[in-house]
Structure 1
Amino acid sequence: MPRRLAAIVAGDIAGYSRLMELDEEGTHARVKRIERDLIQPSITEHYGRLVKTTGDGFIAIFDSPVEAVRSAIVIQQNMSGRNAAQPRNLWIEYRVGVNLGDVIIEEDDIYGDGVNIASRLESIADPGQVYISGGIYEQIKNKLVCGYESLGDRKVKNITDPVRVYRVLPDPAAFRTRDRRGTVLILSMSIVWLGIAGAGLWYWLPHGKPQETSSILVLPQTSKAQLPPPVTNPSTQASEPSRPAVTTAQARPQTQPAPSTASPEKQAALQNAIPAPPTSTIREPQMNMLQGGSFVMGSNDDASEKPVHQVTVKPFAISRYPVSVREWNQCAAEKACPFAAAGKDDAPVTNVSWSDAKQFAAWLAGATRKPYRLPTEAEWEYAARGGTHTRYWWGDELQPGIANCKNCADLGAIEQPVKIGSFKPNPFGLYDMGGGVDQWVEDCWHKNYQGAPSNGSPWLESDCGSHVIRSGSWKNDARYVRPANRDSYDTNVRYPTHGFRVALSP
């Protein structure tokens, strides 16, 4: 029998018997649809092979442990988004285990301790979670951007030696490998020190003036960048020598939305590279000022893009390009962003979560004293359409060489997006508004536009686990680069095709 070293992914649905008892035919149909539309494509996209399905589970093998864990994360996060539209008792949640081992390969199955350990990890995983073995952890710990929690050595059924187990954390910033006893000890010490600090503060405060002490507020150091910065008038700021001067007419913000008949030429004339203050050393994104107005949002191409509805957006500026590696690394150099991006300076930054993008916008706002933010979903589509009403901004038919997507350009197989601005801009002078990198927007994910705001404001919830991404990427086909196309991803999870651009209120 041929043998090989492989990363094995085993998945199984938690509470499958209960779901079948509630709705046998409906559950069966949903599971088959998930296997067809999510599990099989995710495994294939990450260079793996689906070995078999088992009714309520699956087994896959990968040459790369990194791609195996990435695939598992994608499956879990997409399942989280699908479950959001279902009542809690109808959620389909997978437990996933990933192990590295030597296996026996047959045409339609695989065998060996490596497979058994992956299955055992799956069986002890919590619903919606990914558990990995120590062998997988050692291979991916410095290669994959996510967090890990060490669960120690576990004795699993029919395996002689204990298995070192790690839980993959959905929050990339939560890199924890210490054991639970250490966590409890640190928490206890923190409580003690907080008590001592509180007693000391009470002792030194002037107790005779309660009206003064009641106004004391201790803020985290990072809160300064999160506070709304004062809006400066762009017309009073000095222009950088390398950029054209901004006239008063160009810089003056519009107080009312322009009529929907505004031509693309008029919109393009309002392009405005917002200059940095003379004392700033921050390289700011180049911004195009858009007049705003009414447009028809959505399409009938997909259920998530319905109903088609009219939206009016106020004047705003949006960055001419997606945020680049160079711009991102300014934030990273000041320890305000969580990681330094790799790649060429003029490439778009990738592998960014929604929370990362928000962190960059807050840092940029604080550093420049301007109200930088993520664009709303309505603003993004308005800007991407460029005043047009066709399927793509250039027309109804796909044209080669217009956008950076899998079947949009003759670029061959590439692992990274090309540099920003490599393709023609749309009628508003904006580059890569379709293809290149997926782009985060401010809005929480909703499965359609029922109840969506019509004034261009972000559609938010008090606690949303996923946010909207737009544009499609260099790895997606042409249907993703349509201005109306929308998708979602988990708020705190990074993915190699995800980037963003920023917006600016007048």
Structure 2
Amino acid sequence: MGEIRNFRSGNQDEPPPHGGVGPRRLAAIIVGDIASYSRLMQADEEGTHVRVKRIERDLIQPSIVEHHGALVKTTGDGFIAIFDSPVEAVRCSIVIQQNLIGRNASLPKDSRIEYRIGVNLGDVIIEPDDVYGDGVNIASRIEGIAEPGQVYISGAIYEQIKHKVVCGYESLGDRKVKNITDPVRVYRVLPDADAIGRTRGRRENVLIFLLSITVLMIATGVLWYLLVQPGRVGEQAAAPTASPVASPSPQPSSREAAVQTPQPSPSLASSPAPAPSQSPPPLREPEMIAIRGGTFAMGSNDDPTERPVHQVTVKPFSIGKYPVTVQEWNECAAAKACGFTAIGKDNAPITDVSWTDAQQYVAWLARTAKKPYRLPSEAEWEYAARGGTQTKYWWGDKLQPGMAGCKDCGEFAAEQPAKVGSFKPNPFGLHDMGGGVDQWVEDCWRRTYQGAPNDGSAWTGGDCSSHVLRSGSWKNDSRYVRPSNRDGYDTNVRYPTHGFRVALSP
């Protein structure tokens, strides 16, 4: 199968230096390869070819570009890409794998296209349409030992990203790989930061499950005895004793007297009493704050994505006083309207949700409460976050401790976000509009505000493979908690720091 050559470096008309050898550079290299490719081609050659090309076109190439990488080449069953940033290389790998999970969900297991991905940091030789060196070879060897659907990284990558990418890592130890002299330290990437504990505790979870089943069976037996046996005793007490001659009965003992007290008829005694009807608990709607609306200067000159600064007029609306909590999310999950049940404290913000997950929640909430709940637009979110101010932060131009939950905000550093409302509200009475959790909004992601609407509405249409996130999280530093800060992330991919809050039209 032919290769797609997409990599370019420097002036392609100039000959490479050093006697025909291309320049060297330090790069993060991704090598991806399709598991069981030969079997898939044998089963359906044309269909597999079309599906692979579609994945390359619609997922792999856009993801690489979105994460500031360069596609070196694609082969029949894989691809190679390089990145200046190890963080972006790993994020790109996670996005590709999680999107493939969604694509494969409805397919039979033996028809799924699954990639193994290896990532390494190394010094490589750059050619106009290829890349060479031990850095590439190690990435290829790591990919070869990866499980389908998994991302494995080298120790060199791990050292660069361990405090920068919010995910779990499982050390697989030093591995001897083909044609590489020294062993390579290998880690498995777990996008869910809690997954490492679940992986290690799988056997214990099975034992706990079996023990729970045993206890449940014993409890069921005891309950059956308590419900059925009194009815049988009542039947025996009500049965007359056959005696041809009446004789005085001895005084019954206290225990016999208790048995001989009037009993309900056998038919009623043997039937359990009907359980009282249980109505579902009332819907717990998020607490909302009414915003009067007005005109403000949206954006800043602190970052290219926040330019140009432009005037926006926002209409009146309401927005959640806090981000949506675990308890509120789990009501949607209990109604089978949201995709998973969250684990954590009830008053903690929901995390690890995609934009699509957030839309499921607001659709359920609007339907159940019969109110027009939705995600806020990006303009509404910033207007609400500023609280009527135009300073760097809503409280002023300098960082102050105790005002937001972020990595360097002075009084807060933890492995999970604080409960909602742990920090002071802004002038509009809103909590956690900066820090805590990243918050999805309605708008599609665009790199600048050029052409953005000025009426406060969401900027949709066009390429919506990514959506906008606001607020920054407890894992980010203080520059992310600015009201003007913005970022984009893949629409269908969950990430451990991502949450949301709801809005309500008048």
What TM-score do the two structures reach when normalised by structure 1? 0.52
Residue in 2 that maps onto 1:256: none
Letter in 1 for 2:117: G
Q: Which residue of the other structure, out of 113, 117, 120, is the alignment partner of 1:97?
A: 117
The 2-side partners of 1:77 and 1:327 are apart by 29
Residues 410 and 337 (structure 1), Cα distance of their counterparts in 2 relative to 1, 3 Å cut = same
- 1:17-37 Cα distance to aligned partner (Å, 9 max, x none): 556675989xx99x97989xx
1:15 aligns with 2:39: no
Aligned partner of residue 359 in structure 1, secondary structure: helix
Q: Return the offset for 1:410.
A: 2.1
Note the residue ranges of structure 1 that are not aligned, 5 or more in a row: 1-12, 43-53, 61-66, 79-94, 100-108, 134-143, 146-156, 159-167, 171-277
Residues 279 and 352 (structure 1), Cα distance of their counterparts in 2 relative to 1, 3 Å cut = closer
Residue in 1 that maps onto 2:400: 399
- 1:337-371 Cα distance to aligned partner (Å, 9 max, x none): 00001110000000000000011000000011100
Aligned partner of residue 356 in structure 1, secondary structure: helix
The 1-side partners of 2:497 and 2:352 are apart by 6
Letter in 2 for 1:500: F
Residue in 1 that maps onto 2:470: 470
Q: Return the offset for 1:117.
A: 3.7
Residues 389 and 132 (structure 1), Cα distance of their counterparts in 2 relative to 1, 3 Å cut = closer
Q: Trace 1:161-172 onto structure 2 (pairs within 5 A).
A: none
1:502 aligns with 2:502: yes
- 1:421-458 Cα distance to aligned partner (Å, 9 max, x none): 00000000000000000000000001101000000000
Residue in 2 that maps onto 1:300: 301
The 2-side partners of 1:367 and 1:401 are apart by 37
The 2-side partners of 1:496 and 1:450 are apart by 30
- 8 Å CA contact retained: 2:83, 2:89: no
Residue in 2 that maps onto 1:485: 485
The 2-side partners of 1:335 and 1:396 are apart by 45
Aligned partner of residue 326 in structure 1, secondary structure: helix
Aligned partner of residue 331 in structure 1, secondary structure: helix
- Structure 1 segments of 4+ aligned residues over 3 angstroms from their partners: 13-25, 31-35, 54-60, 67-78, 113-117, 119-122, 130-133
Q: Trace 1:50-199 onto structure 2 (pairs within 5 A).
A: 56=82, 71=91, 73-74=93-94, 97-98=117-118, 117-120=141-144
The 1-side partners of 2:458 and 2:7 are apart by 40
Aligned partner of residue 355 in structure 1, secondary structure: helix
What TM-score do the two structures reach when normalised by structure 2? 0.52
The 1-side partners of 2:281 and 2:422 are apart by 28
The 2-side partners of 1:505 and 1:295 are apart by 19
Letter in 2 for 1:304: T
Q: Return the offset for 1:118.
A: 2.3
1:349 aligns with 2:350: yes
1:365 aligns with 2:349: no
Residues 121 and 75 (structure 1), Cα distance of their counterparts in 2 relative to 1, 3 Å cut = farther
The 2-side partners of 1:56 and 1:69 are apart by 8
Letter in 1 for 2:420: I
Aligned partner of residue 384 in structure 1, secondary structure: helix
- 8 Å CA contact retained: 1:403, 1:432: yes
Residues 465 and 72 (structure 1), Cα distance of their counterparts in 2 relative to 1, 3 Å cut = closer
Residues 487 and 279 (structure 1), Cα distance of their counterparts in 2 relative to 1, 3 Å cut = same
The 2-side partners of 1:460 and 1:33 are apart by 35
Aligned partner of residue 468 in structure 1, secondary structure: strand
The 1-side partners of 2:284 and 2:13 are apart by 57
Residues 56 and 337 (structure 1), Cα distance of their counterparts in 2 relative to 1, 3 Å cut = closer
The 1-side partners of 2:397 and 2:442 are apart by 28
Letter in 1 for 2:402: G
Q: Trace 1:414-453 onto structure 2 (pairs within 5 A).
A: 414-453=414-453
Residues 56 and 73 (structure 1), Cα distance of their counterparts in 2 relative to 1, 3 Å cut = closer
Aligned partner of residue 311 in structure 1, secondary structure: strand
- 8 Å CA contact retained: 1:351, 1:495: yes
Same amino acid, percent of matched pairs: 57
Residues 356 and 308 (structure 1), Cα distance of their counterparts in 2 relative to 1, 3 Å cut = same
- 8 Å CA contact retained: 1:121, 1:131: no
Q: Return the offset for 1:15.
A: 3.4
- 8 Å CA contact retained: 2:97, 2:150: no
Pair member with larger Rg: 2
Residues 22 and 400 (structure 1), Cα distance of their counterparts in 2 relative to 1, 3 Å cut = same
- 8 Å CA contact retained: 2:28, 2:89: no
Q: Return the offset for 1:77.
A: 9.7
Q: Return the offset for 1:403.
A: 0.3
The 2-side partners of 1:339 and 1:462 are apart by 29
Residues 32 and 132 (structure 1), Cα distance of their counterparts in 2 relative to 1, 3 Å cut = closer
- 8 Å CA contact retained: 1:473, 1:497: yes
Q: Please provide the CA RMSD for this pair.
A: 4.5
Letter in 2 for 1:288: I
Q: Return the offset for 1:304.
A: 0.5
Aligned partner of residue 384 in structure 2, secondary structure: helix
Q: Return the offset for 1:297.
A: 0.3
Q: Return the offset for 1:58.
A: 9.1
Residues 96 and 311 (structure 1), Cα distance of their counterparts in 2 relative to 1, 3 Å cut = farther
- 8 Å CA contact retained: 1:311, 1:454: yes
- 1:226-253 Cα distance to aligned partner (Å, 9 max, x none): xxxxxxxxxxxxxxxxxxxxxxxxxxxx
Residues 282 and 23 (structure 1), Cα distance of their counterparts in 2 relative to 1, 3 Å cut = farther
Q: Return the offset for 1:409.
A: 3.0
- 1:109-162 Cα distance to aligned partner (Å, 9 max, x none): 999x9965424489x99xxxx7658xxxxxxxxxx99xxxxxxxxxxx99xxxx
- 8 Å CA contact retained: 1:69, 1:98: no
Residues 356 and 479 (structure 1), Cα distance of their counterparts in 2 relative to 1, 3 Å cut = same
Residue in 1 that maps onto 2:385: 384
1:455 aligns with 2:448: no
- 8 Å CA contact retained: 2:27, 2:84: no
Residue in 2 that maps onto 1:161: none
- 8 Å CA contact retained: 2:439, 2:469: yes
Letter in 2 for 1:505: S
